[in-house]
Amino acid sequence: MSNQSANPSTQNSALNSRFIALKICLTVIQKGRSLSQSLPEGLAQFQDRRERGFTQNLVIGTLRWQMRLEAIRDQLLKKKLKEKDEDINQLILLGLYQILYMETPEHAAVSETVAVVQKLKKPWAKALVNGVLRNFLRDQENICAEADLKPAQKYSHPQWLFKALRKAYPDDWQSIMQANNEIAPLTLRVNTIQQSRDAFIEKLQSQDIIAKPHATAPQGVVLETSTDITQLPTYEEGGFSVQDGAAQQAANILQPKADEHILDACAAPGGKTTHLLELSANKAKVFALEKEPERIDRLAENLHRLDLQADYAAGDASCPEEWWDNQLFDKILLDAPCSATGIIRRHPDIKWHRTPEDIETLVETQASILKALWPLLKPGGKLLYATCSVLPEENTLQMQDFIESEPTAKVIPLNLEATITFETPGNQYLPGRFAMDGFFYCLLEKSE
């Protein structure tokens, strides 16, 4: 496992970092809030960049390895703690994560984690946390080996998801779960209206930023190390966006042309909307729809920064009567609501928030949107169905069901490098291949 950021220098800052990390983790695990909401709020309390970095690594890493850490912790506790002491439970996991995965010296990982107990006003727990962490240090190898006997624990995935992945991908489930626990690279998409990919890479290299062209995404650039994107050249002018290589395939598959009337359903925050416009030299007539009104602002900001024009509105894709102007579309991009099981490496809390019941609900929602949008497509038009999921129920099986029920739908085979194809329709990117997220695509054409 790769090591993470080193310790903050002073005990006070280290204590504060660990306490804030604990509060963020509890918000995610206990209260069910998303990491993307909770983490920025927690990190906003820090002035120091190193403290922010340490806390972020500690939170994301602990949530990423939550199940493995719990299996280790449970071997060390003589009896389970009460529900009201979940803060102590989670604090132990933070301590174990530092010992196993970070550069924190072992004595500091123990002593400074134990010190957090003072802030929790549970003095009885000081000896417990100290004892658990020190006992782990004494027999670390054997304890980890015991925890890793069960694959779901070894790869830190909930049991239901482990079983689903093993069933769907009998030859790839281990590599999928391993990729889900890796740190995703920072991948950018060059705005080719403004600059070429080669020119952008040269600008980065002139500032000693190591970057390389993406292996399969024609506008993609991969940075060797993560950085503050607002400080990169051409950010203010809209010279690039952040977008994973797999997500960049959507606009390239649809090949938007000038004056084509294109619907981007479920569009926020606008990554694919803006890519469609860039590839058409800002001449496609794109209508971006987003169900969540509060996300429309982010879409508008991205359009503005990149100097692109599109119409957009808040609306439910499954209810066109509420927003459609009766003008048929040449092309439709349906980036459907999904389990997001293909982007776990970027959002490790997905593992702990998703349930099998969620998948059933999402499959129904996807089918409803497909059925509602298909009549809005011109004869001869194309609809691209996409998800950031790796589960067949949301992808190939969803497409198979739709095609069987819709006689005017024809699958157009896609030649996408590094994808898996099935007997059922569509192409599946698995997490980690060419350093990309897990993504599914199926292109449909409407018969004349």
Active site residues: 388
Is residue 332 within 8 A of residue 386, CB to CB? The reply is no
426: buried, middle or exposed (CB in 10 Å: 19+, 13-18, 0-12)? buried
Give the Cα separation of 99 and 58 in Å (integer).
11
SS (H, E, C) 265-311: ECCCCCHHHHHHHHHCCCCCEEEEEECCHHHHHHHHHHHHHCCCCCE
Rounded to the nearest 5°, which phi and psi values hold at 280?
Answer: -100, 15
Residue labelled with tokens 């971006």: 288
